[in-house]
Amino acid sequence: MIPGFRRPPAGVHPPLDSPAYRATSLRHPKEPLVIVPQTLSERTGPVYGQDTVGPGDHDLTRQHAGEPVGERIIIEGRVADEDGGAIPHTLIEVWQANAAGRYAHKGDQHSAPLDPNFSGAGRTLTDAEGKFRFVTIKPGAYPWLNHPNAWRPAHVHFSLFGPSFLTRLVTQMYFPGDPLLAFDPIYQSIRDERARNRLVAAFELDVTEPGIALGYRFDLVLRGRNSTPMVD
Amino acid sequence: MTADGRTGGRADGLTPFQTVGPYFAVLPLEGENSASAASTIVIEGTVRDGAGAIVPDALIETWQADATGRCDAADASFRGFARAMTDESGRYEVRTEMPGSIGKGHAPHILVGVLARGVLTRLLTRIYFPGNAANATDPVLALVPESRRATLLASATAPDRYRFDIILQGPGETAFFDA
């Protein structure tokens, strides 16, 4: 029997109804969530292996003829479960705005320029120790319509699978010292301050590549297993 | 600990969810709108918000057992996972095979994750199929208040087509799960 997964501690995941983030007002369920057991369906999930990922997919600066504009950065990290155990060979997808704060997406109408050398999408698999590395450029902040003079802090979107459909995680990585974090209702929707801080990468000289790119560390933790197997 | 004494970037617990936002655009997975290399059924539907407006920026993801009820077959021809964005009319479509039962009393079902701008933490629900006798004994469906069970039932619109609309809020609100 495959063990089930621990319930997330209170305050970690943002509440679905977060009034300061206006778009939640009509998009959060009003009925209570139905608490259900974890059957085989919940305890398993899709497997994406080496055949999924191309050799250059982790380097967002080399997907076009020329180099993108912006400050080159390296993002390194490790994916673990809540007990610290490595999550090896799991798919991580990233997407982000360019250095000017514009997404290469038809829905993004921000007046900042597109960069013909930057699509802003990458992916990789964690290695046997759960470690990963992306090369990209630092995304720009951009305005949005949530409230007057609203700006999203610079961020990189992360999508992870882990060992089960229940470990699926979609989140955002922020940059240390960004003054916009204090005003961002999406970042601030996380009630637990310690949990919120986990989304802020650390600048690390050790990750920096001298003369080439600045380095950041961003570790991620997915749901851990229950210690005792669940019974169907 | 980093040079400036901060612990940022080092995980000391579960990583929080954030919204997928309006600009989801990853490198596509091969055949990602189909859970199987030999899909035989289509599941389609419209996502709506609490004002009845269509949601044109939702990412719908599905996970399910194969036709024999196995969830861990790791077979290249049956991935079990599919995903699709809703289009400008709020409609999504994924292709798959009819799932088998994962065990005695369990009715065939498909897990669904709903991600969107304005959805801060993924919403989770299930699709069940009409006319299946095991729907009456399914242990998860039994936990859903009877008046809301119909929201988890797809409707057959053609021999190989099912409609599963998702209502995020308000009248007919889809039953979402905490698993």
Q: Tens digits of per-residue pLDDT, B112-165?
A: 999 999 999 999 999 999 999 999 999 999 999 999 999 999 999 999 999 999
**Cα(A52)–Cα(A66) distance, rounded to whole angstroms?**
25
Cα distance between residue A214 and residue A147, in whole Å = 33
Beta strands in A6-130 (DSSP E): 34-35, 72-81, 91-96, 121-125
Which residues of chain A, if any, have pLDDT below 50? none
In sequence order, the β-bridge partners of residue B171 are none
Q: Is A21 a catalytic residue?
A: no
Q: What is the dihedral of CA B133, B136, B139, B143, to 10 degrees?
A: 150
Exactly one of A21, A103, A174, A187 is catalytic; which is it?
A103
Neighbours of A76 (CB within 10 A): 19
Is it the case that residue B3 has pLDDT exceeding 60?
Answer: no
Residue of A nearest to B102 (CA): A40
The catalytically annotated residue of A22, A157, A168, A191 is A157
- Positive or negative: CA dihedral A60, A66, A70, A76: positive
What number of CA atoms fall less than 13 Å from residue B179's CA on the CB side?
Answer: 29
Backbone angles phi, psi at B159, to 5 degrees: -55, -35
For residue B77, what pLDDT is reported?
Answer: 85
Specify the pTM: 0.96
User: Which amino acid is located at B85 in the chain?
Assistant: M
Across the interface, do A14 and B18 touch by the CB < 8 Å criterion? yes
What is the structure's pLDDT at B152?
98
Q: How many CB atoms lie within 10 A of CB A163?
A: 19
**In angstroms, rounded to a whole number, what is the distance separating the alpha carbons of residues B105 and B30?**
34
Identity of residue A206: D
Quick one: pLDDT band at residue B5, thresholds 50, 70, 90? very low
Overall average pLDDT of the B63-81 stretch: 88
How far A222 CA lies from chain B's nearest CA (Å)?
6
Please state, rounded to an integer, the average pLDDT across all residues of chain B.
94
Report pLDDT for B9.
67
Contact call for residues B59 and B26 (beta carbons, < 8 A): no
Query: What local confidence, expressed as pLDDT, does residue B1 receive?
Result: 40
Q: Which of A39, A159, A178, A199 to mutate to test the interface with B (most CBs of B within 10 A)?
A: A39
Count the alpha carbons within 13 Å of A177 in the hemisphere toward its beta carbon. 5
- Tell me how far CA of residue A92 lies from CA of A68, A182, A191, B171, in angstroms: 22, 27, 25, 37
CA A48 – CA A52 distance, rounded (Å): 6
Asked if residue B95 has pLDDT above 90, the reply is yes
Task: Answer whether residue B74 shows pLDDT above 80.
Answer: no
**Cα dihedral A60, A64, A70, A75 in deg (nearest 10):** 10
CB contact under 8 A, B120 and A122: no
The predicted structure's pLDDT at residue A2: 75
Do B119 and A21 form a contact (C-beta atoms < 8 A)? no
pLDDT at B8: 58
pLDDT recorded at residue B6: 47
**pLDDT bucket at B2, cuts 50 / 70 / 90:** very low
Q: Is pLDDT of B76 > 90?
A: no
Which of B17, B94, B104, B117 has the highest number of chain A CBs within 10 A, making it the mutation to test binding with A?
Answer: B17
pLDDT in tens, A8-57: 999 999 999 999 999 999 999 999 999 999 999 999 999 998 899 999 99
Give exposure, B32-51, as e/b (b: 16+ Cβ within 10 Å): bbbbbeebebbbbbbbbbbe
- What are the pLDDT digits (tens) for B28-53? 999 999 999 999 999 999 999 999 99
